[in-house]
Amino acid sequence: MSPVKSVGLALGSGSSRGWAHIGAIEALEEENIPINYIAGCSVGSYIGAIYASGSLKSLKNFVLRMDGKKVFSYFDVVFPRSGFLNATKKVKELFSMHTDVNDFSQLNIPLLMVATDLESGDKVVLRSGNLLHALRATMSMPGLFAPTNVKGRWLVDGGLVDPVPVGIARAMGADVVIAVDLNSGLISRKDRKKIQKKIPGTDKKAGNRHEYKNELVQKLTDYYENAGASLKKKINELLRQESSVPDIMETVTTSIGIMQERITRINLAVEPPDILIQPRLGELKMMDFDNVEHAIEEGYSGVKQQMEDIKALLEPNRGRRLEIEYSRSEAGDLKSEITGRRSETEKRESE
């Protein structure tokens, strides 16, 4: 009798777009697709950890009631030496409200997380010990959150080096790797606004965004209580004003998103998954927490659309598919280019 194939999930980074992972996992569960391994990056690690500890039901109910204002209420504004927001205490709260698990050894499904060593630039794979320390590291988006010290190394978001950790899922032992990439299809600010108007409830949510911007203003004002009047006035003006120029948060998160999209394209060309899910979330900003239901639905439908291929790959006599759906020709070109460069380098070194 042929052995049952194991499935590994590579859950990518993407901040608020990460709720799509909930829908993707739900779709797999509906079809009784086993999930034997999980490799996560940033928000993918957060959702993967909660799922591996039991169930996503509590998390889904929570995020469906959440909006941007509530999200920012979970973070403390700090003096911007290494990041504007302190997530240390709140990550624990946001995780512990959904599970009692706090160590890798307690998880029901093997899970690895990706972080980046801020000094060396190396990819760091977190696989044991305290889950909360690991989560703070893999989710520490540079510029917004302060880096996290784990065993003497300052770690930040793993999306800087491996936004969709396909290779890690494969190395864990997965026969079939299903990857969920949240950073494909980036679009311009102008086009994003046009598309967002078509999403139900967007007008109301736009009002909510103004509210949580005011919340941030109040937090900054409270933090700088002893600052001079001119500084407090300047903070108020900068954060309240409406402008066609992207604000600092949008600038940081969008820049990171662009970088991650480029890195992901190259990584997937070199090391493609068997199934690639790319939810259509290009219209959502990285910190757009007001369209949770839309993100979950996109993740769910993305998996459903490829369910036939997933089931076929799990058949005992089927081999691993080497092509990837998102852009076979582009991936091939990138892989050939990278392979060619390596060959040229090796040739020069041998001479």
- Pairing between strand 123-126 and 111-117? antiparallel
- Choosing from 67, 157, 288, 290, the catalytic residue is 157
Residues 6 or more apart whose Cβ sits within 8 Å of residue 197:
203
Q: Are 18 and 43 in contact (CB under 8 A)?
A: yes
Q: How far is CA 142 from CA 72, 174, 282, 289, in A?
A: 17, 31, 21, 19
In our burial notation (b when 16+ CB lie closer than 10 A, e otherwise), range 158-169 reads bbbbbbbbbbbb
Whether 157 is catalytic = yes
Instruction: Centre a 10 Å sphere on the Cβ of residue 305 and count the other Cβ atoms it contains.
Output: 12
Whether 222 is catalytic = no
Q: In the structure encoding, which two tokens stand for residue 37, read together?
A: 């391994």
* Cα 160 to Cα 186: distance, rounded to the nearest angstrom: 17
Query: Which residue reads 């086009």 in tokens?
Result: 191
Query: Which residue reads 């998103």 in tokens?
Result: 257
* Cα 193 to Cα 202: distance, rounded to the nearest angstrom: 10
**What are the φ and ψ backbone dihedral angles of 14, each rounded to 5 degrees?**
160, 10
- Choosing from 16, 42, 53, 140, the catalytic residue is 42
Q: Which residues are known to be catalytic?
A: 42, 157
